[in-house]
Structures are given as structure tokens and as C-alpha cells.
Amino acid sequence: MPKKKNEIKTLERNEHGLLTGVDYHVGEDGFINWRKMVENDHLVPNKSRTQETDVSKLEDGDLLILLAGIKNLAHLRGFESVKYRVENGDADSVTAVCEIQFSPNFETGHKSVTFSAIGDATVHNTKGFGRQFLGPVAENRAFVRCVKSFLRINVVGFEEINPQNPEGGNYSSATEYVKSINVSDELKEVMDKKGVTWSILQKRLAEGNYDGAADLGGIEDLPRLKIYELIGRLKKL
């Protein structure tokens, strides 16, 4: 039987300038609460401020937003163009400006708005391969700050932190940082306290119709958000 081809999805916006089919969080002021549009998958704990690994329990000041989350916000908000320019640069430092022309919506009186922000990268606030690509790093930091500032989001972006900060650890990429947050060990600790073995947990997952439960080899095969959910459920036992 031939495999069904994926269909092309057409993006459409309604009379308010919002994407159709998206559940936007509207605040008490009648405007979109863009902070609540950030999915937990795009948030990680700020390890320089907290030991907690469950992002759902943390205040904004203890969180970091990953670049993927910022890009998703820009997509949801809508933009017409993104431009970068280098203000100054040499072998040791680059300063870039990101200028985004956001699409019209009800929040701007249905007019397009241009917003800009600055980002810098030096050999002193980057690490690893980032030191070889100061320009792109500076552009990413400027992009993150531009989107965050325009959408009034106060959570620090992962791109904004200094990877050489001794309090936060040394991480050359967001992937490396996320991997360092070992939520699997926290789940194992809770399971031990509650007397729950992996076989019991796997059985409960199967009974709850968790997709692919029978094929799981262990806790490490579970996605991070599912682990957070299980930790919360077990702690309530």
C-alpha cells in the first residue's frame, strides 16, 4: 500500500491578524499574553539560580527560553522581514543589530511595526565553536532580544547567558545544556521512595495508552515533559 503523502498546510490569519487554528492566550487587558504562548518544551531551568528541574514549578526568573521557542513565538506573532546589520566587528568581538518588521494585527492597530535590538558576542562571552562564529552568535542574541522585547517577555533567553559563567556551568550549546539537566535521576529517586519499579511504571504507562510504552527500554527513553509529569504524579502518591 503506497504511503500517504503529507499535505501542504496553508497559513491563514483572521481579521485580528492571528493564525487560525491556534489557541492564543488573551490577558485581562485584552491583548495576547505572549509569555503563555511559550511551550514548556522550549523552557529549561536556569541552573545558576535553581536546582529544580521541573519547569512547570519555576517562576520566570528561574527559567531560560531556548532559541526554538523564540522562533516559534515570532512565527505565531507574524513578521514580514528580518534584517541584520553588523555595527562593529573584529576577530575578538561582533556587535549586531536585528530589525524585525512585525505583521499588522489588532495589537498594533492593524499596522506593521518595525522593532530592533542589539546583540554582542566576544571571545569572553562565548565558548567552543561559538568563538569561531561570533557573527551568527551576535545575530541570534539580537534576534532573541528583539522578539522578547517587542512581545514583552521577561524570561531570559538561553542565547543571552554567558556559557562561561562558572555559576551556570560551561555549555557550548543549548543541546549540551539541556542534556546536563538530568531529570531521569530525579524520577528514579522518586520511584525509589515510592517503591515503584520500572516494570510497574511501564505497565501503568501501557494501561494509560501511552504510545509506544511496550517498546520503552527505560526511563531514559521518555521525553523530558513526560518525566516531569510522572514525577509530579508519583510525588502525590
Task: Extract the runs of DSSP E, i.e. beta strands, from 103-141.
Answer: 113-122
Instruction: Note the pLDDT of residue 114.
Output: 97
Lowest mean pLDDT across 157-161, 178-182, 196-200: 178-182
Contact 69, 39 (CB under 8 A): yes
Does residue 208 come out as left (phi exceeding 0), alpha (psi in the -120 to 50 range) or beta? Answer: alpha
User: Is the confidence at residue 5, as pLDDT, over 70?
Assistant: yes
Does residue 130 come out as left (phi exceeding 0), alpha (psi in the -120 to 50 range) or beta? Answer: alpha
Q: Which residues have a Cβ under 8 Å from the Cβ of 100 and sit 6 or more positions away?
A: 74, 79, 81, 82, 83, 114, 115, 116, 143, 146, 147, 150
DSSP string of 47-82?
TTT-----GGG--GGGEEE-HHHHHHHHHHH-EEEE
Lowest mean pLDDT across 81-90, 150-159, 221-230: 221-230
Instruction: Note the pLDDT of residue 76.
Output: 97
Instruction: Note the pLDDT of residue 167.
Output: 47
pTM of the model as a whole: 0.72
* Rounded Cα–Cα distance for residues 184 and 93 (Å): 38
Instruction: Note the pLDDT of residue 21.
Output: 93
User: What is the average pLDDT score of the chain?
Assistant: 86
